[in-house]
Structure 1
Amino acid sequence: MDAVPGRKAPMASGSAPDLMYCQPCAEDGNKILPDAFCPVCKEFLCSTCARVHRNQKITKSHALQDKTSMPSSFCAESEDEKFSVTCQHHSKEFIKYYCPRHDALLCGDCVIENENHRSCMVEKILQVAKRYQEGEEYISLKTGLGQMVRDIENYILYIQVRMKSVDEENLTNINEFRKFRNEINQYLDKRENELLAEIDQTKRTSKTFLNELKTKYTNIKSATEKLQSDLHAHEANSNQLLIVGKRAIKELEDLQTALEKVSMSKDVSRYTFDRDPATERLLASETAIGRLKEGESTTTLGQQQQKQEKKQQEQRKQQESKQQQHKPTQAPSHKVNFQSSVDLSQSQFSRQPDIPMKTSGDTRNCFLSSVACLSGNRILLADYNNQSVKLILRPTWCCPRLLCQVDHGTCVNCPVTGQPSL
């Protein structure tokens, strides 16, 4: 077991009390009586070490005890009592050493057996621990852990808000579905009443037509039977029979003509119910009535913050663009700026008279591939179909800056009127 620096081994019972020395100096093998004691570091210090202890940034806040108040002896804990974390590679050994070069925690066996640490300046955990507790790494670790806890709390809060939103979304979807289902039911009821009325109307029309035919056939039959009865009644008197027979022949011809006319009447139409193909496709569809459509994807809290920042940046850009549009219009310049552009979505356009450009020598319809403005109100046109270049005078309503930039895909305000022109 390693001896505690700066003190002698305890004497037997009844012997003189332990003699204390400056512990930092004892590390170098010097035995100097202490002039102060640090209750934080649990160290006895000589006057020189005490001055250094007060001036160091890490220990300057420690309140040192002088000879009058410092303890006469200090029984330090054994190292075995201070260490309780075992080594991952040697389960029976405690971690007592630290390698700054490899940032590794080691036990005694690791220091001896591992060749990688033989050339390293291995330090004891007791020496490193005091600096570590007040160092930037430990402070950063505590800050990171605190931030981690706050982030997790925000995520939990976000989940609670999303759970409430899911419940509200569920109710909204159910209400929308039931509303649509009610509209479908009302439409089906309406179509059912219309179809039933149409079926009933065709039935009444057909029956009326058939009743009329039946009446006509009944009347012809009655007239025919009457002729038969008259002939039978006058069979005893040949003179009367002749007269009645001659008349019957004429009447029979009329009845036959009427029968043929009635029999030639159009038969009643036959109707069958024909299913609507669109409705049949709807019934066969797996998404009939509707389906759940995924809207905006659920994002994490960090992604939502990024979206919010992006939205704010876009709003700032739009405000800057509006401010630039409201700036006073500069005096018209004859210099063409091919990079300038304006928003024409709110502009009002009016059709102007066509510019005649077809000549007597053209054999095909004109197709302009490029346009250029020349001095003196002249326009130079390239006719692709007729493979010719034409020079025309520019109308007074034509915007010269617009024509100059046709090939560049940029439309700007007219320098005279300040309005877009075509």
Structure 2
Amino acid sequence: MEVPGKQRTYDTKTLDATCQPCSRDGETLPADVYCSVCKEFLCSTCRNEHMQFKATKGHALLHATDLPTQDESTECCDIHRGELIKYFCLNHQSLNCGHCSVLDHKACDQQIISDVAKEFKEDQEYMDITGAFAELLKKIDACSSDVESSFDIVRTLCEKETSEVGQYRDTLNKYIEERDNSLRKVIEQMKSNDETLLDTLRQRCVNLKSKAEESIGKLKAKEINAIRLFIEVKRTKKIFQGLRSALAAIRKEKTIHQYQFKKDHATEGVLASKTGLGTVENIQDKKKTESLGSADLTRMQFAETSPIPVNSKDDKTHCFLTNMLLLPRDRLLLTDFENATVKLVDLKTSRLLARVKLQSRPFSMCLINETMVAVSFPEVRGIQFLEIKEQILLGDMLKVVDKYYGIAYYDERLVVSHYSEKLALTDMKGKVVKEKNNKENKQQPFAYPWYLTVVRGHQGAVIYVSDLGTSTITKLDMDLNILQTFKDFALLRGPKAIATVENQLLICGSRSNSIICLDMSSGEITNLSLKAKEGIISPQSVCYSQQLGKLYVACQCEVDINKLVNVFVATQRH
């Protein structure tokens, strides 16, 4: 290893490589050393320059006797720094160093990269990835062209409808003139929103193309070295999938407003009309609303399929899943109360993606935004924030005044429930803003309000609370005033976690061993018939993925620990 500040004699005869910086300038000079930080071969001149610059003079330089040959890998392991990648695991499709191979892949089918990479440039996998990138670039260009053409549509539509408004306004008086200004603002705002969206999409297309070209450039640059080419292709596959997903997202988001000026017929005869002049309607959203069907779970039948394994080798005891949360990108977050952990599952592969150990046993969760979750810790009187990405990252921990079990989020506030009797609203720092206690109400509506959720509607938001002690579901406004109480002692026995699916509320009947559906409009309560081989045993939490068409039920099952998360496929009844 090179020591900064000292000179050393090098024997370049033992080093079979050429200087990479010089080769980019068209020169072919023998390499003297290899920089393990920059991952480049350097000749003696480049080596001297490398040691003079402040940013690179501390880099570790490998000399001939320490250096792998060009038939070996010079890429370092992402996990074990300083260890070179030498193996490829066929089971996990991973690039491994010697440590990885021994510690994590001992029982796997592994290949020595230097053996399999010799003819890799002619391999079908390399041809497929380069061809796929070429096709992706074509699609990016087509999407960019489509975005550009949409600008003319937006402007033409704006001009046309603005002209209609102007022509109609000429026949009306000053009152109509005021309405005209109001409508123009609406149209201009839609135009501005469309152009802002398209500007963003245009830049994203440019960025996508740049990244795709960069990836192709990296592949081409490493064609001279089969090993590095092999490794780069394996790494680039993930980049390619990400770019393809990003392109799909752009196409999905490229939805501009389709609107038209609609005359108000009453205004033509009566200038005093309250809807004077007309309105601007988003006809595209209207069409979408009319085309979307309602997910009426009471009209569906549910057939059991393979359960999701959530046990981990690091668990100290049997799992007890108190809550589940459906996340974007078809992922499921679970609180394992007994093991004091939160677990992340990929619903498409039924694979446990991540697991994090917490300082106390978690009970319930709520989604703050697409990546942030709040978790209640009743035993330590705390609320833990988690950031959910590829892994589960610990955020801030709030100390709160009570043992909160249920938790929900709405408009920069948290709605929380005590072990018994009490509900509260807190700010995002845990400070109580409003509280509802049984002591203030002679009827004592709550006994054990362990679970709750906030439902957003056209007329505002409301809170639904499931009470284990009274076997009721209570509806409250955001000031914690009780609006309605739902009871059905035949079905609602021991209600636990609740989940919202459009205008329906799914409820776990822990003592009736069933999943209950409450229609929030009519108040009708229905037992969902789940075709399970051994039945549902003490369900604790439930959620439904409309995208996948599957119902997930977490149970308390001591007989079969592999059936903790049961999965049911939903189909329309004929």
What's the TM-score bracket when you normalise by the shorter of the two chains? Answer: under 0.3
Q: Structure 2 length as normaliser, TM-score?
A: 0.21
Bigger-Rg structure (1/2): 1
TM-score, normalising length: structure 1: 0.28
Higher relative contact order (CA 8 A, sep 6+): 2
Task: Write 1 or 2 for the structure with the bigger share of helix.
Answer: 1
Indicate the structure with greater strand content: 2
